[in-house]
Amino acid sequence: MARTTPTYTPFGKYALAMIVSLTLLISDVNYQTFSSTRGSVQATGIYGQLIIDSAASNITKFNVIHKDKKALIKINKDLKNQLSILQNKVFLENKSTVLVSDLLNLQGEMMALSQAQETFIFEIASFGLKNYLCCSSHSLYLKNPQKLKVSANLPVANGNSFIGQTSSTDINLIKVILFSDTDHILPVKINNFFCNAKGAGKPLLISCKAIRNPEFLKIRNNDPVFTSGLGGVFPKNISIGRVININNSISNESKVTIALDASPLESNYFGVLVNL
Amino acid sequence: MKLSHHFIIFITIFAGFWMDKLIWGFDVREYILFADNIPYLIETSIGLLIFCYWVYAMPEKLHSSAALIQGLIIDLCFGNAIGFHMLFFVSISYIIHVYVFRFRIFSYLQLIIFFGIASVFYLACKYLIFFPTNYSYLLLIFSFFVNAAAWLPIYFGMRSFRRKFIK
């Protein structure tokens, strides 16, 4: 015997729910209506993950310490203490030297990259590596514990060159959209040819489609690619990559694929240029 | 139905989506030699299948409003845009409601095929809307087999869970 009896399913309620959800979907996909709400929720998630990670590492450390045998600790106590003091000293000295020199180098290179009046250095909070390696959406989050006012559309560099631009600020995290994101468009210059390069959705690749003209025909593989400065976000004449492929198979149009110089995976600290 | 039951149901759906995210993050190619360069071909839809199970098991208690609210929270926590999971949950909920008594006389194989196709349709829409450059038929084919195979464990697992916690 059936557990329930067949009942009429009212289509009206479902149709209304479908219309509401479709409206929300279209407004969010086309106009990013709820991006700040989603950003806040996702930032809260990242914070939660960071807190859980640190708690887990503390618990692991705690367990490791308590698993050591007491007798062995007694015997080796003096030796261990001396050794740990020495190791800590060396480690801290090395770490502080490396960190300070890295930050100084980064600061110097950032100032050389443009005539920015101010450069903020931020540590990375989260990187969507899986999305970066597989899919179209390429972004990372930077920690902003001092709650500095960082607006959208500011250039972000990793010391070698620019890697993307700020997108939004959620709680204490700054979202950075990378050049290789399919939603990102970067005006570039190759020799005297100008075009808008769109992210290819693949690591370190951008591409631009353009109608073939005399300037375009001069482009060769390995030609350097510079920012044109026409977007108003990045300063002009900054080297960002090289031409790796020219596809002329489309009639009247050609596609130039550009390999970027700066990989966002190689740095833990990123600089944001303010007041260009 | 009690509010606590709605909460328990949502927790299982949330756990399903969380598992999808974990499985997605676990890249099996790292452990296979020469597999680094092949495209990623498997994506699970455990969260969606768990939602389908609840509607299939208790159609008289889960209606459009529940699907709408659950979809909204899943969109906020896991989605790329508000409305995607809402729309999918409401649509699949309506289809299951309409055909639920027909599904009850289906064999397990027929159910596996139906829910496998539903999950592949969900993945296809997700990739077409959010990651069109990464859309791949191979991914859909492999994911169909994986999600179809996942239906029976989810069905029996969730049924024992329901009998234990929701009476």
pLDDT digits (tens, 9 = 90+) for B65-119: 999 999 999 998 887 789 999 999 999 999 999 988 888 889 999 999 999 999 9
Give yes or no for B153 touching A (CB within 8 A).
Answer: no
**CA pair distance B139, B131, nearest whole angstrom:** 13
Is A7's CB within 8 Å of B60's CB? Answer: yes
For residue B125, CA distances in Å to A19, A151, A190, B130 come to 17, 33, 37, 8
- Best of B75, B77, B130 to disrupt the A interface (most A CBs within 10 Å) is B75
Give the residue on A whose Cα is nearest the Cα of B60: A4
Min Cα distance B25 → chain A (Å) is: 6
Give the residue on B whose Cα is nearest the Cα of A201: B133
Residue B89's Cβ-side half-sphere holds a number of Cα atoms within 13 Å equal to: 31
Q: With contacts defined as CB-CB under 8 Å, which chain A residues touch B84?
A: 25
Give yes or no for A13 touching B (CB within 8 A).
Answer: yes
In chain A, which residues have pLDDT < 50? 1, 116, 276
In sequence order, which residues have a C-beta less than 8 Å from that of residue B70 and are 6 or more positions away? B9, B10, B13, B51, B85, B89
Give yes or no for B25 touching A (CB within 8 A).
Answer: yes
Query: What average pLDDT does range B51-66 have in this prediction?
Result: 91
Is the pLDDT at B165 greater than 50? The verdict is: yes
Q: What is the pLDDT of residues A136-149, one digit of tens each?
A: 888 899 888 887 88
For residue A215, CA distances in Å to A185, A194, A236, B90 come to 21, 9, 19, 54
Is B98's CB within 8 Å of A4's CB? Answer: no
User: Domain span at residue B152?
Assistant: 3-165
Is the pLDDT at B33 greater than 70? The verdict is: no
At which residue do the structure tokens 């690591």 appear?
A: A203
Mean pLDDT computed over every residue of chain B: 88
Give yes or no for B87 touching A (CB within 8 A).
Answer: yes
Q: Which of B68, B84, B130 sits opposite A17 (nearest CB)?
A: B68
Number of domains in chain B: 1
Copy the structure tokens of residue A108: 């110097």
Q: With contacts defined as CB-CB under 8 Å, which chain A residues touch B63?
A: 13
Is B90's CB within 8 Å of A33's CB? Answer: no
Min Cα distance B78 → chain A (Å) is: 8
Query: What average pLDDT does range B3-12 have in this prediction?
Result: 91
Report residue B124's pLDDT band, with 50, 70 and 90 as the boundaries.
very high
Q: With contacts defined as CB-CB under 8 Å, which chain A residues touch B77?
A: 41, 45
CB burial of residue B135 (10 Å; 0-12, 13-18, 19+): middle
Query: DSSP states of B110-149 as a string?
Result: HHHHHHHHHHHHHHHHHHHHH-GGG--HHHHHHHHHHHHH
Copy the structure tokens of residue B120: 């592949």
Give the residue on B whose Cα is nearest the Cα of A18: B87
* Entry field: residues in chain B: 167
Query: What average pLDDT does range B140-145 have in this prediction?
Result: 92
Is A14's CB within 8 Å of B83's CB? Answer: no
Min Cα distance B31 → chain A (Å) is: 16
Q: With contacts defined as CB-CB under 8 Å, which chain B residues touch A7?
A: 60
Is B90's CB within 8 Å of A21's CB? Answer: yes
Is the pLDDT at B145 greater than 90? The verdict is: yes
- Count A/B contacts: CB-CB distance under 8 Å: 90
pLDDT value for B126: 92
Min Cα distance A183 → chain B (Å) is: 11
Q: With contacts defined as CB-CB under 8 Å, which chain B residues touch A34?
A: 81-82
Nearest to B100 by CA among B57, B152, B61, B65: B57
C-beta separation of A164 from A141 below 8 A: no
**CA pair distance A154, A170, nearest whole angstrom:** 15
Give yes or no for A12 touching B (CB within 8 A).
Answer: no
Min Cα distance B119 → chain A (Å) is: 18
Q: Per residue in B70-103, is it b (16+ CB within 10 Å) or e — as a string?
A: bbbbbbbbbbbbbbbbbbbbbbbbbbbbeebeeb
